[in-house]
Amino acid sequence: MMLTAHRAPDRNAYRIPAAVLAAPAATPDTLLEPLGPGVQTVRFDRDEEVFFQGGQAVDCFEVVAGCVRTVRLLEDGRRYIGEFLFPGDVLGCEMAGQYEFGAEAVTPTTLRRYRISAVEERAARDLGFAQRLRRHSACQVRQAWGRMILLGRKTAAERIASFLLEMRDRIVPSARGAFREAFELPMSRGDIADYLGLTTETVCRGLAELRQRGVIAVNRAHVTVLDAAGLTHAGSDQVH
Amino acid sequence: MMLTAHRAPDRNAYRIPAAVLAAPAATPDTLLEPLGPGVQTVRFDRDEEVFFQGGQAVDCFEVVAGCVRTVRLLEDGRRYIGEFLFPGDVLGCEMAGQYEFGAEAVTPTTLRRYRISAVEERAARDLGFAQRLRRHSACQVRQAWGRMILLGRKTAAERIASFLLEMRDRIVPSARGAFREAFELPMSRGDIADYLGLTTETVCRGLAELRQRGVIAVNRAHVTVLDAAGLTHAGSDQVH
DNA sequence: CGCGGAGTTGACCTAAATCAACCACGGTGG
DNA sequence: CCACCGTGGTTGATTTAGGTCAACTCCGCG
């Protein structure tokens, strides 16, 4: 299937750690694949809204290409970005009733659209599918906990280092043969700031600091990790 | 069953919003109840460890009485509290492999202990059970998102107000007939601080501020919400 | 060539952390 | 029965990380 070309072959698409991957032989390629065929493919331009906070939750999506952000707003305009989604990631399938946050395309994006009701209906009769869904949510929960200690207890510098490490592991280098330590950030500094609970300026200063210390090279969107160990240390991301 | 006496009758124990509760008739009382009988009941003293961060994840728990906190530590001692658990809440059942955080008793606590493997095994053959588990994780994910905007974008005063609102809704007044706006906080100011990403002192000052404005009355553990609307406003917890 | 928006850098300010008393109880033991 | 701690809570003074405001740079584009 051509879709797999969009994903890094060695990484598991729905982020299930190796320990949980004692999966049965015929695991589908992506979480929602079993719901095809008859799936709609939809495209969104940069900054276009995929769905909005408070809207009736009817569809969920799988990213085929591009990058999507989820956003929550406080009424005075403060914005928080819940996560960035890359090819293979799934969006909105734990929503019930209303979307609790909005979703917008960071770059021109291709998504596959599924009905949440179809997901629910399938889960109600297919145990394997239900199990994979459950594991997906469990992963989301564990990831969320990681984000909380980042937001609650880490300094600006640590958050930025952690962010770079996360992106290094999640962004597939666009250039064929480009090595893993070099990648293009699809999102703006403002997006990064709203993801990390900081401001644009603080993100810039943090990146500048890391550059001056020779840990990374940055030029606009292009980032190269020069000293991975140094970056891991700067992020306090010990694998306890 | 006697356990229900420990829970507020009008609130759904595993926090599934009404919209999702289109449940089949015979819904069990608590999430893990179907796994009984033969469940062990275990007790923990104040500050005793239920399980520790990094340990092999084999058991999960349901709170019968008392209050439990989940803790994550950075190696330099910074602490973050993921959540407080009250009677009816369930703990650790989305763990795979290792516990990603520790759990400690905030007060003397009674828990029912289940094997994670038993939960998995039951989920693998009981669709209804799997569905409830899945909804439980989905709720956890949605709650986590709420916590993230709190940590990433709210001021100290707003966090404290939000916290009080959460506790008002989750803590069952101990005194029979005590009205809902008065409750006892089982956790210390330090615990609250680590839950909100603040310090003890800032929590104290925030509470003092709300007291001076006549929004609440506080005396040590005892809190009374005098002006619920004012508190909601102070917390920026609009129901969008 | 001039415009406009993202990114960067600098100067300054403020919310919350840190550091330091101090208070208010709830035991404990004389 | 009451003095004595000790622990958690509160309040005040000071410091600081990061936010705010403002200038300026660097492209990309018509």
Look at residue B153 and give its three-state secondary structure.
helix
**pLDDT at A175 (0 to 100):** 60
Residue written as tokens 């085929």? A64
**pLDDT at A32 (0 to 100):** 80
Inter-chain touch A137–B140, beta carbons under 8 Å: yes
CA distance A138 to chain B (A): 5
**pLDDT at B3 (0 to 100):** 35
Which nucleotide's C1' atom has the smallest distance to the CA of B199? Answer: C17
**pLDDT at B31 (0 to 100):** 83
**pLDDT at B172 (0 to 100):** 79
Once rounded to an integer, what is the mean pLDDT over residues B60-68?
96
Per-residue pLDDT tens, chain A, 240 aa: give them.
Answer: 333 333 333 333 344 343 333 444 456 678 887 777 668 999 999 999 999 999 999 999 999 999 999 999 998 989 999 999 999 999 998 888 899 999 999 999 999 999 999 999 999 989 989 989 999 999 999 999 999 999 999 999 999 999 999 999 999 776 665 677 899 999 999 999 999 999 999 999 999 999 999 999 999 999 999 999 999 999 988 655
pTM above 0.75, yes or no: yes
Alpha helices (H) in chain B, listed in sequence order? 116-123, 127-153, 156-170, 189-196, 200-212, 228-235
**pLDDT at A225 (0 to 100):** 96
Bigger pLDDT: B216 vs A240:
B216
**pLDDT at A6 (0 to 100):** 36
**pLDDT at A7 (0 to 100):** 35
pLDDT band at B35 (very low <50, low <70, confident <90, very high): confident
Residues B94-141 have pLDDT tens digits of 888 999 999 999 999 999 999 999 999 999 989 989 989 999 999 999
Q: Is the C-alpha dihedral spanning A104, A108, A111, A113 positive or negative?
A: positive
CA distance B57 to chain A (A): 11
How many residues belong to chain A? 240
Chain B residue with CA closest to A80: the answer is B149
Once rounded to an integer, what is the mean pLDDT over residues B49-64?
96
pLDDT band at B6 (very low <50, low <70, confident <90, very high): very low
Q: Is the pLDDT of residue B173 over 90?
A: no
Preferred mutation among B151, B154, B155 to probe A, highest tally of A CBs within 10 A: B151
CA–CA gap between residue A216 and residue A227 (Å, rounded): 7
Encoded amino acid at B141, one letter? V
Q: Is the pLDDT of residue B49 over 80?
A: yes
Interface A-B, measured as beta-carbon pairs within 8 A, has a size of 144
**pLDDT at B188 (0 to 100):** 98
User: Is residue A157 within 8 Å of residue A38, measured between CB atoms?
Assistant: no
CA distance A2 to chain B (A): 30
Tell me whether residue B133 is exposed, middle or buried, using C-beta atoms within 10 angstroms of its C-beta: 0 to 12, 13 to 18, 19 or more. Answer: buried
User: A149 contacts in B (CB within 8 Å)?
Assistant: 72, 74, 80
